Amino acid sequence: MTQVPLQDDAESDPPLGRQTSFDSSFFILLVIACAAASAVAWTKGPTRVLEIALSYLGFLAVLSPKVLCGFFIAAAVPVLIPRETMIRWVGRESGNRGLFAATAAGALVPGGPMMIFPIAAGFRAAGASVAVLVAFVVSWSLLGLNRTVIWEMSFLQIDFVLLRVLICLPLPFLAGWAAARVLR
């Protein structure tokens, strides 16, 4: 397999963790949330909308400490790992080595979305390429060792789990490789 440079420019692209508060994704989510609230108000009454909002404020209170920990880890990554090291291992010129490293990291890093996505943003801020982040997130989604061992092996037969992992094993690398090609 040939070495494909990961062509996005980490120097000129804004880090993924530094979006504005009111960007297009916020407005898309706002429209969907308002449509859902309107549908609930129409079918179940406005009191039910208020009940749902209040119950999820409690969920937000429980989730917030985990999200803050994820943000702290994300902020610490570019401070603790020298940019030159990060760029060498997972920057745009890291090629296949960066994709393999991201695939391994995604499979090994435990945690849910409140940890993984801030970590990915921290990696981006430290100099990781978008293609590497694709491999990292896809690997976490498909190969997460923590989830595979604790959940899948507890509920599913081992031959099924091993077959699923074997089939999914190349996918994070291939997704990162495809992202590098698209970004060229």
Predicted confidence (pLDDT) per residue in 90-116, tens digit:
888 888 999 999 999 999 988 888 888
CA dihedral (56, 114, 129, 12) in degrees, to 10, reads 50
Q: Is 20 exposed, middle or buried (0-12, 13-18, 19+ CB in 10 A)?
A: exposed
From residue 183, alpha-carbon distances to 20, 90, 169 in Å are 23, 15, 23
Q: Tokens standing for 163?
A: 């077959």
Distance CA 71, CA 172 (A): 24
pLDDT tens for 19-75 read 677 778 889 989 999 999 999 999 999 999 999 999 888 888 888 888 888 788 878
Q: Hunting for tokens 């960066």 — which residue is that?
A: 98
173 pLDDT higher than 60: yes
18 pLDDT higher than 70: no
Tell me what percent of the residues of the chain surpass a pLDDT of 70. 90
Q: Tokens standing for 52?
A: 């749902």
User: Is pTM, for the whole model, over 0.75?
Assistant: no
Lowest mean pLDDT among 50-54, 133-137, 163-167: 50-54
